[in-house]
Amino acid sequence: MTYYKVVLSGENIFFENSGDAPEPVIGFITSKLIQTESEELAIAIAKRDLLVHWNHSFNSDRKLGMPKLAVEYIGEVRGWFKPKSTNDYYWFTNAEHKQTQLEKLTQAPRQWFWRSDSKKDKAIT
């Protein structure tokens, strides 16, 4: 089975901001790590898990509504070390803010382990 990173966004929610917030929250982005046989199944499981968590955590009083979900990114996660899977939500207030959040969640992991540096690889004589 393969691990997939699925990044979902949810919009059309009724989120009440505090009085000092300049712009209303219009949606959220979240990332899920799913182990399954196919991308299609990973998307279905990620959406199901997200909606279950949403209804139990944020929408228990049914005031926020059901978000309209969209798949923003899906990719295989390879390697020995897997990222921690959390139920973090990254809220956004407009399309530009959403894009900034997406860039953070979809960027390639940094290569820090066994990094090759041309200066360090040269023998010291």
pLDDT for the residue 84: 63
Rounded Cα distance between 49 and 56, Å, is: 11
Question: Hey, which residues does 2 pair with through a beta bridge?
Answer: 36
Question: Hey, which residues does 35 pair with through a beta bridge?
Answer: 3
Q: Which of 32, 62, 57 is nearest to 47 (CA)?
A: 32
Evaluate if residue 85 carries a pLDDT over 70: no
pLDDT in tens, 3-59: 899 999 999 887 776 666 677 888 899 989 999 999 999 999 999 999 988 888 776
Evaluate if residue 62 carries a pLDDT over 80: no
